[in-house]
Amino acid sequence: MIEQGVMKMWHHVEGPYLYQDIHTLHHKARSAEQHLKVINCAAEQLFGEQLALTAAELEQQITNLLEQNGIWPNGSTKVTLKLNAVGEYFIESGEPTIYAGYALRSIQPKACYITIDAPYPTLPSSAMEQTRQLADARAQQLGYDRAIICNAEKAITADVTRPMILCGGRTLLMHPSTKATVEGSRVVEVATKLGYSIRLREVTMEDLAKAEEVMLLDWLGITSLSHIGERPYAWFVAEHFAQEMEQEYNKTKTR
């Protein structure tokens, strides 16, 4: 891992932190400048701090870390940037995947609703990450793959660590915080280009019951849910969006 710009042995980051999962391919970070904006905005709100790191510095440190760790360059790899409450930053790398670029995962998870209080769900914090992991563990105990976190009033928690987008016809519905995430903004760009309407508001269980497709976003792109409970969903729009996201990203690299 990298700690404050210095290569070190991996160790657990103590205390609360904000984070961004960054897509890398061929040892290069995608959207480093956007990720810095997201984490700095959250840090200003929560910690009153900002990360003293430029996009160019972040990109170079990520490349150094992946090369030093001997990561296979031809598979997309998650790199996580963490920022703690006193302004210290850490960069950690995962393992390469079988995918190269934004992709629709071949596995379509089954989900169920889990009612649980969520701390600062519109900020990408370790507290929300751990809450989601707890909810997922409960869902798995019930025989499902993922949790859809909701409150007692049947509103869906706006979890920016795993944003959700609903599709019905030519309209996408998402919480406003989703648009501010890196992958969420990419979906909005692609959807607008393809002529979809975007609705930004709180999402409810009733909305999910009416949706044709439900997409979960993360650093690698789109995961399409197969079911929530017994309600089945399609995946055609999600596949199209994943392909378009990769094409649009590659276009921006050549400009």
Q: What pLDDT does 106 receive?
A: 81
Element holding 15 (H helix, E strand): none
Mean pLDDT computed over 143-157: 96
* CATH for 137: 3.20.10.10
**Residue 71 shares a structural domain with residue 155:** no
Q: Are 47 and 112 found together in one domain? A: no
Cα separation, 144 vs 4, in Å, equals 39
pLDDT in tens, 195-222: 999 999 999 999 999 999 999 999 999 9
Least Cα distance to 214 among 253, 162, 252 occurs for 162
CATH number at residue 74: 3.30.470.10
Same domain? For 29 and 154 the reply is: no
d(CA 91, CA 121): 22
Amino acid occupying residue 94: G
Mean pLDDT of 96-118: 93
- pLDDT at position 107 is 87
pLDDT band of 254, cuts 50, 70, 90: low
Same domain for 73 and 119, yes or no, is no
Which residues fall within 8 angstroms of residue 4, CB to CB, at 6 or more apart? 88, 89, 90
Mean per-residue pLDDT for 75-92?
96
Domain count, the chain: 2
Same domain, 90 and 216: no
Same domain, 90 and 108: no
* Over residues 115-133, mean pLDDT: 96
- Higher-pLDDT residue of 157 and 249 is 157
- Percent of the chain past pLDDT 90, that is, above it, reads 93
Q: Radius of gyration over alpha carbons of the chain, in Å?
A: 18
Query: What integer pLDDT is reported at residue 105 of this predicted model?
Result: 82
- The pLDDT mean for the chain works out to 95
Question: How would DSSP label each residue in 93-121?
Answer: EEEE-S--SSEE-S---EEEEEE---SST
Residue 9 has pLDDT above 90, yes or no: yes
Asked whether residue 72 falls in the same domain as residue 166, the answer is no
Query: Does residue 32 surpass a pLDDT of 90?
Result: yes
Residue 16 parent element (H or E): none
Residue that terminates a domain, selected from 63, 81, 96:
96
Tokens linked to 46 = 């929560």
Q: Which one-letter DSSP state was computed for residue 230? A: T
Tens-digit pLDDT profile for residues 37-47: 999 999 999 99
- If asked whether residues 89 and 145 sit together in one domain, one would say no
Phi-psi region of 122 (alpha: psi -120 to 50; beta: other; left: phi over 0): alpha
Q: Both tokens of residue 196? A: 């979809």
pLDDT score, position 52: 87
Confidence at residue 72, expressed as pLDDT on a 0 to 100 scale: 97
> What's the whole-model pTM score?
0.95
Query: Residue 124 in 3-state DSSP?
Result: coil
pLDDT value at residue 218: 95
Q: Taking Cα atoms as reference points, which of 146, 143, 160 lies closest to residue 114?
A: 146
Could you say which of 46, 78, 96 is where a domain stops? Answer: 96
Cβ(230)–Cβ(250) below 8 Å: no
Domain end point (choices 81, 96, 111): 96
Distance (Å, rounded) from C-alpha 45 to C-alpha 59? Answer: 25
178 and 137 inside one domain:
yes
Task: Give the amino acid at 216.
Answer: L
Q: Rounded to whole angstroms, what are the CA distances from 146 to 56, 84, 135?
A: 36, 28, 8
Say if residue 109 is in the same domain as residue 231: yes
Closest of 216, 220, 222, 238 to residue 163, by C-alpha = 216
Whether residues 117 and 206 share a domain: the answer is yes
Q: What are the pLDDT digits (tens) for 162-172?
A: 999 999 999 99
Higher-scoring residue by pLDDT: 211, 52: 211
Write the CB contacts of 25 (distance below 8 Å, at least 6 apart in sequence): 73, 74, 75, 76, 77, 100, 101
Q: Are residues 41 and 111 in the same domain?
A: no
Mean pLDDT of 54-71: 97
Give the range of the structural domain holding residue 84, as residue numbers without chain letter. Answer: 2-96
Given this model, what pLDDT does residue 13 score? 95
